[in-house]
Amino acid sequence: MLGNEAFFQKVDEDNKELKFYFNRLYKYPKRTELIWILVQRYLSIAKNKVVNLFYYDQWILLYKFSKKGGPSKSIYQFKKIVPPKDKFWADPFVIKEDGEYYIFFEEYLYKTKKGHLSVLKIDQKGNYTEPEIILKKDYHLSYPFVFKEGQVFYMIPETRGNSTIELYKCIEFPNKWELEKVLMKDIQAVDATILKKDNQYWMFVNMRDHEGVSTVDELFLFSSKELVSEQWEPHPQNPVISDVRISRSAGKIFEYNGELYRPSQNNAKQYGHAMNMNKIVTLNKESYKEEVVSSVFPNWEKNVKATHTLNFDENLTIMDALMRRRK
């Protein structure tokens, strides 16, 4: 954590740029205005209760194949993969291996209120296989961050329910995995994402550092010379980001036109509402800095309410969305 002096020094540095405040001056509302605000609030609650009698919200997957490599950027062109009504599918990651595309994702069952990790295979015509469970525990699993190191596939799922950060090794691709190493213990952490740069492993992870703080608020950064290790050095700027609009990771860190980008969630309105693409400007043992260059809001279809994960590999881009469906 930053000390007082370092914290205010960082505030001064962040305020060096020219920024304008463009909202109205806040004034405490008058009594009539308060009454009208309350009326609107109760009408909104009543409307939502009526709607919820006939509709429910479900996370689904969306995908798009492109002729060129790299992320597809026209979201309205994405096609849907809709799960059965007793579950949702979210946090998708994609791997191309031996000419085939595999989508790894969280499969959450409403009945058990717990998620496990599954995989399906998809071809460029949009044909996909039935999901197959690849990892199931007595605690909740999500965010199957799958990556390749040399000739070996690894996965770091979210295992906050076990108070750990766990590294799994693939024994038989894509469906057999075994625990390789517990990287961190006794920790409330989500969405750990690894980047290898300059012969160094960087772990970006959202943590609840103390009681009262949400895991969507602060991003922490650690580094290690070895991937399979318990020795992860905390960055001196930790938390490197304290902002609910950009903190929590939304997929793998990727290179595009020679620049590194970290997808992140925008949780200001609600959990998983939207996404940002953040260009990593500085990353070293002393300093970290990124800047938002674009955003993805759930505006392409009226029944879509949120989106919070995006990944790609070669010609396939995969993402998720919270969609309102009729019961």
Q: Is residue 220 part of a domain?
A: yes
Q: Is residue 10 part of a domain?
A: no
Does the pLDDT at position 52 exceed 90? no
Does the pLDDT at position 86 exceed 70? yes
**Predicted confidence (pLDDT) per residue in 152-200, tens digit:** 999 999 999 999 999 999 999 999 999 999 999 999 999 999 999 999 9
Q: What is the C-alpha separation between 51 and 325, in angstroms, rounded? A: 11
Please state, for a pLDDT cut of 90, what percent of the chain lies above it: 78
Give 118-181 as a DSSP string: EEEEE-TTS-BPPPEEEE--SS--EEEEEEEETTEEEEEEEEGGGTEEEEEEEEETTTEEEEEE
Which structural domain, as residue segments, surrounds residue 183? 56-326
pTM of the model as a whole = 0.86
Q: Which one-letter amino acid corresponds to residue 309?
A: T
- Residue-level pLDDT at 169: 98
Q: What is the C-alpha separation between 61 and 290, in angstroms, rounded? A: 28
**Predicted confidence (pLDDT) per residue in 280-298, tens digit:** 999 999 999 999 999 999 9
Q: Is residue 12 part of a domain?
A: no
**Predicted confidence (pLDDT) per residue in 124-144, tens digit:** 999 999 999 999 999 999 999
Q: Is residue 235 part of a domain?
A: yes
Helices (H) and strands (E) in the chain, counts: 2, 22
Q: What is the C-alpha separation between 231 and 95, in angstroms, rounded? A: 28
Q: What is the C-alpha separation between 69 and 64, in angstroms, rounded? A: 11
Q: How many domains does the chain have?
A: 1
- Residue-level pLDDT at 142: 98
Q: Is residue 244 part of a domain?
A: yes
Q: Is residue 9 part of a domain?
A: no
- Report the CATH number at residue 196: 2.115.10.20
